[in-house]
Amino acid sequence: MSEFHLAAEFFPMNEHDLDQVAALEASLQPFPWSRGNFADSLSAGYSVWVCRLGGELIGFSVVMSVIDEAHLLNIGVAARHHGQGYGARLLRNAMQAARQGGATKLFLEVRPSNERAVELYRHFGFRQIGLRKGYYPAASGREDALIFDKELA
């Protein structure tokens, strides 16, 4: 593991992070969440985190919890840091925060075309439990979503 990898730190997202998080999301997604979506997540009290490497914001996650279930709404890592383990660390952090918040199960949706993310979730023991037809906007209409879940207990 490199020193840079070990230097990654996680912090609860705050209002000062919103512009950077929205810009990172826009660099990753053809149909990104807006700054307002992230601000709403903060206001709603969701578990929202940023990952920083030497002060640079390189990732984020957003988890909504209701009673004993949590839903990973969004997660992203700067493209130049893909394949370096930061997505896995963000996912672990999101699962730990959900567990600490009382969740016993975590749900998420993912595009089938996002093979790297599908592989990551399966590696962490998520299992596909369903399919949402036409869930995501796509360049050529709509794309389905795979629904995954994982027991956190």
Query: 3-class secondary structure for the chain?
Result: CCHHHHCEEEEECCHHHHHHHHHHHHHHCCCCCCHHHHHHHHHCCCEEEEEEECCEEEEEEEEEEECCEEEEEEEEECHHHCCCCHHHHHHHHHHHHHHHCCCCEEEEEECCCCHHHHHHHHHCCCEEEEEEEEEEEECCEEEEEEEEEEECC
Catalytic site residue 121?
yes
User: Which of 109, 115, 143, 151 is labelled catalytic?
Assistant: 109
User: Which of 46, 86, 121, 136 is labelled catalytic?
Assistant: 121
Catalytic site residue 86?
no
Q: Which are the catalytic amino acids?
A: 109, 121
